[in-house]
Amino acid sequence: MAHTTVDKGEIMDQVKQQIAVANAQELLTQMTTKCFKKCVNKPGTSLDASEQKCVSLCMDRFMDSWNLISRTYGQRLQREQSNM
């Protein structure tokens, strides 16, 4: 049987990429659910101007919060790794 050499770094990169995709999908799901519930009172075939504005602002705030949390968490991980 021929053995194929698998680069551990390559596997880790693939796993990290899959985790990033899953995180992005979860972010979009949470954002859509939260902003839809907050902004759309009577679902119809389209959003009126106030609903569009509300959804847009909600999504902006959600992304700003997500980015802040992600940066803070990343910085914390770096500090903890440098203290080891």
Residue 38's alpha-carbon distances to 35, 52, 66, in angstroms, are 5, 12, 18
- Work out how many domains the chain is built from and give that number: 1
Q: What is the pLDDT of residue 1?
A: 45
Average pLDDT of every residue of the chain: 89
Q: Is residue 64 part of a domain?
A: yes
More confident residue, 10 or 40: 40
Instruction: Give yes or no for residue 81 having a pLDDT over 90.
Output: no
Helices (H), the chain: 8-39, 49-82
Q: Is the separation of the CB atoms in 59 and 27 below 8 Å?
A: no
Q: What is the pLDDT of residue 17?
A: 92
What CATH number corresponds to the domain at position 54? Answer: 1.10.287.810
Instruction: Give yes or no for residue 39 having a pLDDT over 70.
Output: yes
Residue 29's alpha-carbon distances to 8, 33, 60, 63, in angstroms, are 32, 6, 15, 12
Enclosing domain of residue 22? 8-83
Q: What is the pLDDT of residue 5?
A: 59
Average pLDDT over residues 6-34: 90
Q: Is residue 3 part of a domain?
A: no
Q: Is residue 42 part of a domain?
A: yes
